[in-house]
A and B are shown apart, each in its own frame.
Chain A
Amino acid sequence: MTELTLRATLADRQRLRHLLQEYGVYAGVVVLLLVNIAFTPHFLSTENFRTQAVQVAPIVIVALGMALAIGTEGVDLSVGAVMALATSLLSLYLGYGLVVALLMAALGGVLAGLASGALVAFVGVQPIVATLALMVGGRGLALVLLPQLKDVRNSGMNTLGTGSVLGIPYLVIIAAVLAVVVAFVVRRTTFGRQLLAIGDSRAAAKLAGLPVRRVLVIVYVVSGLLAAVAGILATARLQASDPTSLGTLMELSAITAVVVGGTPLSGGRVRIGGTVAGAVLIQLLTATLIKHDLPPSWTQIAQAVVIVLAVYAARERGKR
């Protein structure tokens, strides 16, 4: 065997691995779909697909913001708490009308993101720690504002949660539109390029004169805002504000979706299509295990294993 052919096979193998890492998440979704179609009774129904899609929508929205944060080599652990904060604010201000309530909930998310972003960009605190403080403090604040579960009786919220256009629920449409917008921003705008450059090397980006601090603050504000939107939508779906449990472990699901979707934790790359597919994969995995009567504890363990495997796979790509 000549050296040339050897090199060719190596290149082939590398390309194969690259393909698998880039498109593995889509393959995973297809495999899970096929398995479910074959083995899960009543899986192939419009009703079921709608349920799954509605459940995945908040995860997708939160994961979009998380993808941006991870793209800058950061992370946002506060997203679950921000969802809870948004739902509390929503209930608190619903008396002043739906628009005011929605704006206050969104404002809560923006302020939370501003706080994390300022800590990361101006004080130089590691993103994990900056957002960890908000992860606990934010949920505490949500509970101070609204100590227990409260029903949301509002026709607008009701429509938002249960309405649909051409059979597609509003929640799904909103998530899809947001995904397209974020993908456009990442790929086609100067801001997107600056974000990726910062994730690649913060020092180099600073030397190149990029507005590093501004971009970082905007990223965390966007992440906070998206988490608040997810909190609003989840509230609309449940028709209740539950600051105790809304968004718990959401940070984990979002990080998993992002990482499984091919965005490396080391920053510099963002895969929005992969992130959406990653969220779908998690939702399908959970649904599959639950439908086959495995208790929730096993879905937790399975999700933990998936995270580690995905991160392990991403590590190989970094070495290439």
Chain B
Amino acid sequence: MNGTIAEVPAGEKQVFPEERGPGRGERLSALAQQHGALLTLVVAVVVASLCFDTFLTGDNLEGMALSSSFLAVVALGMTFVIVTGGIDLSVGSLFALGGVLAAWGSRYGTAVALLLPLAVCGLIGLVNGLLIARARLAPFIVTLASMLGARGLLLAVTDEGANTYLVDKSTWFTHLGQSKLLGVGVPVWITVALFLLGGVALRRSRFGQYVYAVGGNEDAAALMGVPVARTKSYVYTLSGLCAGLAGALNAAWLASGVTILGNGMELDAISAVVIGGTLLSGGAGFLSGSLVGVLLLKVIQNIINQIGSLDSSYQQVVSGAFLAVVVIAQTWLARRRRRMR
């Protein structure tokens, strides 16, 4: 019904003798849903490297990896939220708030610079989660409210946006954003590590099972003893933490807390997750897909930048259209598979 079949590796799937396995069409649909993004990414990279000499250069790739890493961390938390069948519209504001708090806190040392945004954004995420899980309010309206509230808090902290806090260039905190390890920026390494951790948590831990169960069928999960409310609270807290951390890393990279960042980031994160094969209806999805989704968005953005004559407004048009196309395709594939079964 909700596409959870896509989650079960073929080997583990129970096949009754009187039943034939999934038909070829169904398998193809499942493949398209799961790996369509990867295929599109490969095509986009090939096309881009054929069209632009500057695309496959070290500098360009490195820049893309670095700028992808912040969105990727946000998309990581978003994936957990969407797998539970929810949505988090506050991440853009929390990203900006996290950056400003980190930049402000950096004058008191790296620990404060990292812990302050994590504490504040995590707390806002927790409040989101409690309102959604315990008070049973609609996720989109709760997180829409905290999108507004967090942006308000950000403006209050920065004197209505007039204050930009600078990060001292010689601290450990700046190294976190600007240094390189084996020629690759530290934020990229952190992102890769977080995705490995998150992947294990989602696929191999009990918490991960709970996340899938809640998204698959909340009532059934509750009947089976899954702590639904707690799982949901954790998921939104995680999303808040990820957005705050991404903001902090971004501030370390830019060496300042910029107040106007993060507008529309929730859409980019949601797009990346959905493009990566996670179903918006919940219950199915995987982190590696979200990473591919982020890279695909960045490659498209890079192509638009390379064309040069197109102004940046087209990026918004393209990503909006792209999301629409992917959602239509996903809905169509899901319906097709349901009909085949």
* Residue positions of A touching B, CB distance < 8 A: 75, 115, 119, 123-126, 128-130, 132-141, 143-144, 147, 249, 251-252, 255, 259, 265, 295-301, 303-305, 307-308, 311-312, 315
**Further 7 A-B residue pairs, CB within 8 A, beyond A255-B141, A297-B151:** A119-B327, A129-B270, A137-B321, A140-B318, A252-B147, A307-B148, A315-B137
With beta carbons under 8 angstroms apart, the residue of A147, A249, A259, A298 that contacts B141 is A259
A125-B328, A252-B144 as given contacts; A132 in contact with B156, CB under 8 Å: no
- For the complex, give the distance between the alpha carbons of A130 and B316 in Å: 15
Task: Verify B135–A312 contact, CB threshold 8 A.
Answer: yes
With beta carbons under 8 angstroms apart, the residue of A130, A135, A249 that contacts B267 is A135
What are 5 sample pairs from A and B whose C-beta atoms fall under 8 A apart? A123-B328, A132-B323, A144-B313, A147-B311, A298-B152
> In which size bucket is the chain B interface?
35 or more
**Residue numbers in B under 8 Å from A252 (CB-CB):** 144-145, 147-148
- For the complex, give the distance between the alpha carbons of A139 and B321 in Å: 12
**Residue numbers in B under 8 Å from A305 (CB-CB):** 145, 149
**Residue numbers in A under 8 Å from B37 (CB-CB):** none
- The reply on B315 being an interface residue by CB < 8 A is yes
Task: Verify A136–B316 contact, CB threshold 8 A.
Answer: yes
- The reply on B15 being an interface residue by CB < 8 A is no
- For the complex, give the distance between the alpha carbons of A126 and B86 in Å: 12
**Residue numbers in B under 8 Å from A138 (CB-CB):** 320
Task: Verify A128–B316 contact, CB threshold 8 A.
Answer: no
- The reply on B288 being an interface residue by CB < 8 A is no
Task: Verify B317–A133 contact, CB threshold 8 A.
Answer: no
A144-B313, A144-B314, A315-B136 as given contacts; A307 in contact with B328, CB under 8 Å: no
- For the complex, give the distance between the alpha carbons of A308 and B149 in Å: 11
Task: Verify B149–A125 contact, CB threshold 8 A.
Answer: no
Task: Verify A133–B151 contact, CB threshold 8 A.
Answer: no
Q: How far is the CB of A21 from chain B (nearest CB, A)?
A: 15
The A interface is mostly helix, strand or loop, or mixed, namely helix
Task: Verify B87–A143 contact, CB threshold 8 A.
Answer: no
- The reply on B52 being an interface residue by CB < 8 A is no
- For the complex, give the distance between the alpha carbons of A117 and B129 in Å: 30
**Residue numbers in B under 8 Å from A259 (CB-CB):** 141
Within residues 306 to 339 of chain B, which ones have a CB less than 8 A from any CB in chain A? 311, 313-321, 323-324, 327-328, 331-332, 335
Q: How far is the CB of B320 from chain A (nearest CB, A)?
A: 2
The B interface is mostly helix, strand or loop, or mixed, namely helix
Task: Verify B145–A307 contact, CB threshold 8 A.
Answer: yes
- For the complex, give the distance between the alpha carbons of A300 and B147 in Å: 10
* Residue positions of B touching A, CB distance < 8 A: 87, 131, 135-138, 140-142, 144-149, 151-156, 160, 264, 267, 270, 274, 280-281, 311, 313-321, 323-324, 327-328, 331-332, 335
Q: How far is the CB of A94 from chain B (nearest CB, A)?
A: 20
- For the complex, give the distance between the alpha carbons of A4 and B316 in Å: 63
- For the complex, give the distance between the alpha carbons of A267 and B77 in Å: 30
Task: Verify B135–A300 contact, CB threshold 8 A.
Answer: no
Q: How far is the CB of A207 from chain B (nearest CB, A)?
A: 19
A123-B331, A297-B153 as given contacts; A137 in contact with B140, CB under 8 Å: no
Task: Verify B145–A136 contact, CB threshold 8 A.
Answer: no
Task: Verify B160–A295 contact, CB threshold 8 A.
Answer: yes
- For the complex, give the distance between the alpha carbons of A299 and B332 in Å: 43
Task: Verify A144–B311 contact, CB threshold 8 A.
Answer: yes
A123-B332, A140-B317, A308-B131 as given contacts; A128 in contact with B140, CB under 8 Å: yes
Task: Verify B264–A136 contact, CB threshold 8 A.
Answer: yes
With beta carbons under 8 angstroms apart, the residue of A119, A251, A298, A311 that contacts B137 is A311
**Residue numbers in A under 8 Å from B141 (CB-CB):** 255, 259, 265, 307, 311
Q: How far is the CB of B339 from chain A (nearest CB, A)?
A: 13
Which B residue's beta carbon lies closest to that of A318? Answer: B136
**Residue numbers in A under 8 Å from B332 (CB-CB):** 123
Task: Verify A304–B316 contact, CB threshold 8 A.
Answer: no
Task: Verify A124–B335 contact, CB threshold 8 A.
Answer: yes
- For the complex, give the distance between the alpha carbons of A76 and B190 in Å: 37
Task: Verify B145–A308 contact, CB threshold 8 A.
Answer: yes
Task: Verify B267–A300 contact, CB threshold 8 A.
Answer: no
Task: Verify B313–A140 contact, CB threshold 8 A.
Answer: yes
With beta carbons under 8 angstroms apart, the residue of A123, A130, A295 that contacts B155 is A295
